[in-house]
Amino acid sequence: MQPDLFNDSRNTMLRNDVLQALTRHDCAGARVARQKLLQEYPDDPNLPAFLTLIETIDATQQQSQAAATFADHASLREARLTLLEHIAPAAKNQMGEAGAALWLRVLWQDLIARARHLPFDADAEADHSAAMLLSIGDWQAAVDAVGRIESWRRIPAPLAWMAQAKLHLYGLKASWALLAELAWLSPKRLDVLIQASPDPSLQRLRDRFDAGFEPVEGSTAECDLVWFPAWVLTQQPQLGVDLALAQTGQHSAPEQAMRLLVNLLGLERQGRLHDIVKHRKHLRDLNACLYRAYMSTR
């Protein structure tokens, strides 16, 4: 049986009319185009998805006009999950990954604007404007959003968000202080950040660390990352200036070790042998594996 080229091309044309209007976020135009498709091809499998996307545009535009904000984190969560689990798949199916990403960005920006007033809640981390800004790659806006969280540098999630955003904005060299603080505060979050880093050299350093650093008994590879900032100095001592900018934490052994190595590197440049010997003994007492990594380069 020969295909009906006229009907096939007509069907495709009507679908494209709907998609073009959707791409422009033209709700009225998309409704008219979908109605034509419905009248001529009532069994077209794309009709339900088109309706979902049209209704999404309509609701978003109405909320924007009314300057509607979310009452609480629960209402934001409901809207966010609806966007992730229902609207995004429909958009990707109709527009492809790249086209859907551009189209969905407008919807994410609407959620972010409506959620801007909500405070950070450790029990609802994903329901904060900074987390959503990171998901769409708006790094500077994410920095600004994190900066509005009180004591963000002492809270694992905002600290990780700020480190991620600044890593994208300013690069690895300018991010070492935040990465060190994150290692001491939440090594598991540092593990996630490293895996998603835009700079592959960070992952390469992590691989060398995993290969050469002896795990602390009973700990996991992620937890051993608390020692990562100090170990990095044994491999790249020139980073001492950058890592020294890390704010004081809880004076844990890994933090003491890193600061001790910063001081040791300075003492070596000054040739202060007596102080060097004393600091090396202190480093050995803190972590023998780290001490061996340091001495292997001496």
Q: What is the pLDDT of residues 175-205, one digit of tens each?
A: 999 999 999 999 999 999 999 999 999 999 9
Q: Is the pLDDT of residue 103 over 60?
A: yes
Instruction: State residue 2's pLDDT score.
Output: 44
Does 260 reside within a domain? Answer: yes
Does 100 reside within a domain? Answer: no
Q: Quick check: 90 and 78 in contact, CB under 8 A?
A: no
- pTM of the predicted protein model: 0.88
Instruction: State residue 192's pLDDT score.
Output: 97
Amino acid at 277: V
Does 221 reside within a domain? Answer: yes
Q: Which long-range contacts (CB under 8 A, 24 or more apart) does 99-106 make?
A: 99/23, 103/22, 103/23, 103/25, 105/136, 106/25, 106/60
Q: Quick check: 142 and 109 in contact, CB under 8 A?
A: no
Does 242 reside within a domain? Answer: yes
Residue span of the structural domain in which 208 resides = 173-298
Instruction: State residue 3's pLDDT score.
Output: 47
Largest CA distance in the chain: 94
Torsion of CA 79, 84, 87, 93, to 10 degrees: 180
Helices 176-185 and 253-270, packing angle to 10 deg: 140
Does 261 reside within a domain? Answer: yes
Does 284 reside within a domain? Answer: yes
Domain count, the chain: 1
Does 290 reside within a domain? Answer: yes
